[in-house]
Structure 1
């Protein structure tokens, strides 16, 4: 399999080999779709796997979740892809669902053409367009025109019995056969060492990306957090539950100074950085789930230099 050279960018408009799904998409999709698929593994296109049985009609039966990548670790044995800041979406062969299991109200034309196999991925518009995307995909009545710009970037076949490397081949083959401009396999590639991985991370972020995902090539699919799937970002992010509000002082008198947030571990901390004045006047209510970014953790496990990012909309 090819290895990434330090000078290889994450996104490139270089033409794809005819055997890859990217080449098929280039005849049908917009330029933005082409920019997402420079990493398709050339040695896997000819492999085929049996279809994943559709679940159909049930709630999402668990998701594979990422663990934070240990800095300095060698990426040997892992495949690397861009981490897209989109809305997680699981297709069970009949219904498209949020990670909560709630059905996504996508247009009929978007859903009816999708392959009748289980897929996991992100609904995505563009770098820096998460809020606009969220407004489109969370509507109870889909806006046909707005959905025309939405891409479904698929990165796994949930429940498939094959190792990840072969699941990637299956996704490429499935997408190539479907020939849908909005269905795109997330590009995967090998990275030879931690130095090249760091270079790739910096290049990705410079181009507007959020970070990288690393998936062990020989790992079988399983739900939950495991040693098979990792995320690498210049800043980490996490979700917490708003359990209270702290009153502001000085310039913030009469507004919310900070949110009292409970972490998944049960620990609590004050989150004030990143809140706009409008959000301080009308803060996320108690019970809301918020996303915050941070650089590192204190010895006690609290996030250091935490900053409010957004409220996670109910699903």
Structure 2
């Protein structure tokens, strides 16, 4: 059985009237800690300290968690006035899209559908949004950052209920609350994972039901996928042999901690002819880490997002 999370969440009030855990004030290096100051959170370009998922482990009791599909979307944080990427940069969303959002912080993902990440990425990167494209998008929200002192100590179960109420009150088709469900044990969780992946999904997310609002990477939020993924930097292009003669056979990659490995599986013929230049950050998938800390059976996934 997983031990309960016990973390006190203190809050302060900003000029906007929102209550935030102190960590969230890092949204702006000079954000005022008391009411009456002039700089709102929306002026920040620094990354908001959000809750980040740790990897699921077999020792975790899944019955203590709410479970949902892991959406292959773009993380989006609504601070009550501005929609932002995880980096803190403002998203160029149409005015009608954000006008319908509640004046309450929301955390979620912009989503176009399963297997549509590249198309979604192209849409949200535009400096001038195209209405016809944004009409196809939805903001799927899964977390409710506190807007009152009382909300700061709510459990995830309680926050999710309030989140559903806010979404229902907005009454627009492009704002959805991510569906959550419970499982009894690891066996049922495995069945749900298999069904999700078979339907084209990425995997599952697990929110600890009794967790207060937390930020950073911890066990309040877990991700479960049939593979692992990570990012590394292209160092060089390695020549191909045989059928691949004259094109790139593999990419020499380097992880953030300095480990080097070859990445060839998953590269399309087009990528081999026009490979990403050295310095490019790539996302790759792998089954596990070797004793030396290298990815086993790494496979190219996509160019890493820079949101």
Matches of 2:187 and 2:143 in 1, distance apart? 27
- 3-state secondary structure, aligned to 2:160: helix
- 1:270 partnered with 2:256: no
SS in 2 for 1:76: helix
Residue of structure 1 in register with 2:163 after alignment: 171
Q: CA deviation at 1:71?
A: 3.3
Instruction: Give the alignment's TM-score, normalised by structure 2.
Output: 0.81
Instruction: Give the whole-Å Cα distance in 2 for the aligned partners of 1:206 and 1:250.
Output: 35
Residue aligned with 1:189, SS: coil
Show the counterpart of 1:71.
58
Residue of structure 2 in register with 1:280 after alignment: 272
Aligned to 1:300: 292
- Residue aligning to 1:125: 112
**C-alpha deviations, 1:257-286, integer Å up to 9, x for none?**
222222244322111110111111211122
Closer/same/farther in 2, CA of residues 121 and 295 from structure 1, 3 Å limit: same
Instruction: Find the aligned partners of 1:220 and 1:239 in 2 and give their Cα distance.
Output: 30
Please state if 1:146 is matched with 2:138. Answer: no
Asked whether the equivalents of residues 291 and 308 of structure 1 are also in contact (C-alpha less than 8 Å), the reply is: yes
Partner of 1:180: 172
Q: 1:301 and 1:290 mapped to 2: Cα distance?
A: 18
- Aligned residue among 100, 103, 112 for 2:99: 112
Matches of 2:184 and 2:281, distance apart in 1: 38
Return the match for 1:223 from 197, 215, 225.
Answer: 215
Contact 1:211–1:233 (CA<8 Å) still a contact in 2?
yes
Taking the aligned partners of 2:305 and 2:47, their CA distance within structure 1 comes to 18
Q: Kindly tell me the number of residue pairs found equivalent between the two proteins.
A: 266
Structure 1 position 136 matched with structure 2 position 128 = no
Partner of 2:190: 198
Q: CA deviation at 1:52?
A: 6.0
2:224 corresponds in structure 1 to: 232
Which of the numbers 250, 253, 256 marks the counterpart of 1:258? 250
Q: Offset of 1:51 from its aligned partner?
A: 7.1
Q: Structure 1 pair 100/51, CA: closer, same or farther in 2 (3 Å)?
A: closer
Provide the rounded CA distance (Å) in 1 between the counterparts of 2:193 and 2:218.
22
Q: Distance in 2 between matches of 1:118 and 1:301?
A: 38
Give TM-score scaled by structure 1 length.
0.79
Distance in 2, matches of 1:104 and 1:310, equals 21
Structure of higher RCO (CA pairs closer than 8 Å, 6+ residues apart): 1
Give the drift of 1:146. Answer: 0.9
Misfit runs of 4+, over 4 Å:
50-54
Alignment RMSD (CA, Å): 1.9
Alpha-carbon distance in structure 1 between the residues aligned to 2:280 and 2:188: 39
Gaps of at least 5 residues in structure 2 are: 1-16, 21-39
- Matching residue of 1:96: 83
